[in-house]
Chains A and B, each alone.
Chain A
C-alpha cells in the first residue's frame, strides 16, 4: 500500500506541475493585467505609472522567464508575493483555507451521509410514496442553482424567521471564546453548508438509489436471501456495500466541483474562504494569488482523489493496490 501511495504522490506532483504551467498561460490569455486594473482604480494612469507597476509585478520580463521564476518558486514551496494585497500568497491562502475546509468538509459530510441514507431508503422502498417524495426533493435541489437556494434560505431563515445569521463566519465584535464561539461559528455555518451540501446530496441520493436497485437484481443477493440472511443484513452488507462504489467515485470527482460551488456560496454568505479570494484575485488579475489558489485547490483535489482510491479498498477488499 505504501508503494501505491508513493506512486500516486509522484504522479500527483507531475500533474500539479502541468496544472501550474497550463494555468500560468491560461490566466495570461485573459485581457487586462494587474497594472491595468490598478491604474484603472487609481482613476489616473500615465506611462510612468503603468510601467512602474509592470516592473513591480515582474510583468516586463519575457513570459518564459516569468514562468521559470514562478515554477522555481512553487518547487521551493514559495507561492510568491501578492503585490495587490501586499502580502505573501501563502499567508493570504493560509488565513482563508481553514474557513473553506470547514465549509466544504461539512457540506461534503452532509451531502454524502444524507445522500446515501436517503438513496438507501428510496431504493429500499422503491415505487412507494416515500421513494417518490425523496426522488422529487432530490430532483428539486439538483435543479435549483446554488445562489438561488442561498438567497431563498436567507430570506426564510434570516429575514423572516430570524433564526440564523445571514452572513459571515462569526458574530463580529462579540469576542466569544470556547464553546460559545464554536456554537456561534456553527450557527453561521448551517446555511452555507446546507446550501452547498443539498446540491451534492441530491446527486448522491439519486446515484445510491439507482446503484442499489441495480445491485439488488444481481445473483449474489438472491443467494444471500436463499441463505436465509435477514433483509437488513442483505441491504447493508451486500447491496449497499457494492452499490457504494460508484458513489465513492462520484464523491472523489466532486472534490473539485465542491470548491467551485464554494466560490458562489462563500460570496452569497460572505464566508471568508479561498473561493472568494480566488474570485477577487481573478477580477483583479492578481496572477500570483490566483495561481496560488489554483495550486492549493489542485493539491486538495489530488488528496481527495488519493483518499477515494484508499476508500475503494475499504469498501471493496477485492480491489487490489496495483504496485
Chain B
C-alpha cells in the first residue's frame, strides 16, 4: 500500500472551499478533503459517510441521522452535530443548490452530539439524495463561526474530515494532498499523496499522460478525439463509471417565447432534423447515448416510453412547411467548452440548414454565453446540466413555470409554461410512495417530449482514463468527485 497518484485537474479551481465554490474542479479536489453525511452507490442508493445510519418517520416528514463517533477535523477537533447545524446555516447562504434542496426543511435539531433530526414541511421524495459532499459539504464550525466567511484564511488551506488533507498549492502548477493519518476508517486511505497537476492545454494533458507524468485523466480532461488513442496505450484502463449521480445531459435551449421557435412544430422539426447518432459516433467518438427526453436513463423514474424523434430530415421539412416557416434568421449559440463542442455546434448548424433553416452562429465565451441565455437573448443555445439522480432535484427546475426568472441561467430559460407540467412536478416532489412518484414523472416525461420545450441531444459520458495499476478509484456513483479514499496502487 501507499504511493502517489498524479491526476490532472482542469481548469485550475478558483478555490477549494467547497461550501463557497461549487464548480467542477473544486469538487474534484475538495471531495478528498471534505465529506458529506452520505455518499451514493452507482445505483444511487444512499451509503454511510459521516452519518453511519438514518431513519425516516412513518409520515416521511422526519429524518434522523446518527453521526459516526470518533471523527475528527484535520486539526484534531471532534466532528459533532453542532458542525452539521452550522454547515446547513452557512450553505443556505453560500450554496444555491443546497438552499433549493433545503427549501422543504422546516427545522434541523441536534438532540445530542451525534444525532441530527430534520423535520420537513411536507414529505419530499428525493430528500435522502441531497447529502453528497458536493451538494452538502460539512464545514468546521470552530474555524468559521463568527468570521467573515468569504475572506476566512481557511478558504485557502481548507480543513475537513476527509481521507486526505490539504498540504500545498503552487498556483498554476499543482495542488498537493496528503493522507489523513487519523482517518476514521482504519487503514484508509491507502494512498500517501495525491498531486493534482494543473495543465491548461488539452493536447498538453494528453502528452502528460502519454509520457507517464500523470496517472489519472478524470472525465473531460482530454479532447474526445484523443480518448480512443490514449485508451489503446499500454497499461491503460478506461471507465465510464462514476457519473451516475450527476448524469450529465446535453440539450439545446430553444427560446419558446419568440419567432418561429414559439411554434411547437418548429421545435419538433429541430428534433427530427438533427442527426444525434452522428453526433454521438463522430463528434463524441461513440461515447454517450442518444437522449430520449428530459431525464437521463441513469436517474430515477426514467422511461423510454415517450414519443420518438429519429433523424428524419423529410419529416422536419414537412413540419417546418406546415408551421409556415419562411427562412427567418435563427441565432445559434455554441458552448465555449473546447473543440468537441465547437464541432458539435457546426454539425447542428449543418443539420438545421439542410432542412432549410436560416442559422447564424453567434460566437461567445462561457461568461458571455451565460449572460445572453439568462437575458433570453438567443434562439438556440447549447448546454449540458447535471441531474443529481432525481427529477425533483435536477429536471423540474428546467421546465416548471415558477423557474422562469430573467437574468439567471440554468432555470427555465426557454420560457416553457404548461400548468399541467407545473402540477406534475409539484406533486412528484412530495408524493408517496415511490410508485406514485414514478407514475407522475413518467407522465411528465411524455408530455415534455411531445412539446419539445428544449431539444435533448445526448446523455454525455466522460470516461476516466488511468493506468491499470490504479485500483478502486471509482467506487460510487459520484466517482472521482467523491475522493480517492478507496483507491490503491498495484505494485
Contact = CB atoms under 8 A, between A and B. Distances in A.
Interface string A148-188: 00010011001100100111111011000000000000000
Nearest to B394: A43
B213 A41 contact: no
Interface in A46-90: 46-50, 52, 56, 81, 83-87
Interface in B387-427: 397, 405, 407-411
B477 interface: no
Given A30-B367, A39-B96, A43-B410, A167 B208 contact: yes
Interface string A218-243: 00000000000000000000000000
A272 B171 contact: yes
A165 B20 CA distance: 36
A159 B210 contact: yes
A165 B203 CA distance: 14
B285 to A, nearest CB: 21
A29 B374 CA distance: 17
Contacts of B407: 47, 50
A253 to B, nearest CB: 28
B459 interface: no
A50 B408 CA distance: 8
Contact of A44 (B197, B203, B204, B410): B410
Given A46-B405, A47-B408, A270-B199, A40 B99 contact: no
A272 B171 CA distance: 7
A187 to B, nearest CB: 13
Contacts of B15: 84-86
A23 interface: no
B200 A283 contact: no
B11 interface: yes
B173 A168 contact: yes
A297 interface: no
Given A32-B367, A268-B204, A269-B204, A280 B11 contact: yes
A151 B14 contact: no
Contacts of A158: 207, 211
Where chain B touches its partner, the secondary structure class is mixed
A167 B207 contact: yes
Range, interface on chain B: 35 or more
A36 B367 contact: yes
Contacts of A273: 172
Interface string B78-117: 0000000000000001011101100000000000000000
Contacts of B17: 86
Contacts of A168: 173-174, 197, 199
Given A167-B199, A172-B197, A270-B200, A44 B100 contact: yes
A32 B370 contact: yes
Interface string B60-94: 00000000000000000000000000000000010
B213 A36 contact: no
Contacts, number: 175
A36 B405 contact: no
A279 B193 CA distance: 30
Contacts of A45: 96, 374, 408-411
A131 interface: no
Contacts of A81: 151
A215 to B, nearest CB: 43
B4 interface: yes
Given A42-B23, A270-B201, 20 more contacts: A31-B367, A31-B368, A36-B370, A37-B366, A39-B408, A39-B410, A42-B97, A44-B397, A85-B14, A92-B171, A96-B171, A154-B207, A166-B207, A167-B199, A167-B208, A268-B204, A270-B199, A276-B172, A280-B11, A284-B367
Interface of A: 30-33, 36-50, 52, 56, 81, 83-87, 92, 95-96, 99, 151, 154-155, 158-159, 162, 165-170, 172-173, 267-273, 276-277, 279-280, 283-286
22 contacts: A31-B364, A32-B369, A39-B96, A40-B409, A41-B23, A41-B24, A43-B386, A47-B408, A50-B407, A84-B15, A87-B156, A96-B171, A154-B207, A167-B207, A167-B213, A172-B173, A172-B174, A172-B197, A270-B198, A270-B200, A272-B171, A283-B366
